[in-house]
Structure 1
Amino acid sequence: MNTANPQLEGLYLAVAAINRLLVAKGLATHQDIHHALQGAEQTVLSDAGQLTISASHQKAVAFPIRFLMLANEMAEKGGDCQFEPLAREIGRRT
């Protein structure tokens, strides 16, 4: 992530924390969160209107969704949610 976007890093971490809280309070499961985020990702990647933008733009739009899915996966395994390692892992996976 570009270092010019620290607010976005903070936002992603905040949403990931809210997701963990929803699970901890029993309001959602990790699987519920995964399915919701997966649906959002599919919408981004398959939207017919996206044909006018580049593949790299699509990946950029999908990045926060993928970040939150990976953060959810790490939380389910009891792992830590730090921006840099998760962002690197997303880069490796795509």
Structure 2
Amino acid sequence: MNVANLQLEGLLMAVASINQVLVRKGVLTVEEIDIALRKAEASETNEERSEGMSASSRDAVNFPIRLLELANQCQPEADMPSFSKLARMVGQMKEPYNDQM
């Protein structure tokens, strides 16, 4: 695996862990993090941003956001699923884009 991919994997899991701490300490709620992540995904999938991008490129852009959304749904006191488990879940929940229907 490419070293950059491993670095991104570590970064995503670190952000997911930080999000859990922020929720546990009452700084943010799960809902507030979810809203922020949904806004980020909407921004990345708007027509202007994604015009001319292939479906696989859009998936690549949205993958980290979707992984963090799934990690955010885990209970703060529960163990965080592994990166590979979260990545599989992202792939399973992926829906086609409007231009693919």
What RMSD over aligned residues (CA atoms) do the two structures have, in Å? Answer: 1.5
Number of matched pairs = 92
Q: Which runs of 5 or more residues in structure 1 are unaligned? A: none
2:4 aligned with 1:21, yes or no?
no
Q: Distance in 2 between matches of 1:52 and 1:31?
A: 32
Larger relative helix fraction: 1
Q: CA deviation at 1:25?
A: 1.1
Aligned to 1:63: 63
- Aligned-pair distance for 1:75? 3.2
Runs of 4+ aligned structure 1 residues displaced above 2 Å come to 75-81
Residue range with higher mean Cα deviation, 4-13 or 49-58: 49-58
1:85 equivalent in structure 2: 85
Alignment of 1:30-41 (within 5 A): 30-41=30-41
* Shift, 1:89, TM fit: 0.6
User: Which residue identity does 2:50 align to in structure 1?
Assistant: Q
Q: Which has the larger radius of gyration?
A: 2
By relative contact order (CA 8 Å, sep 6+), the higher-ranking structure is 1
Given the two structures, how large is their TM-score scaled by the length of structure 2?
0.83
Q: Secondary structure at the match of 2:58?
A: helix
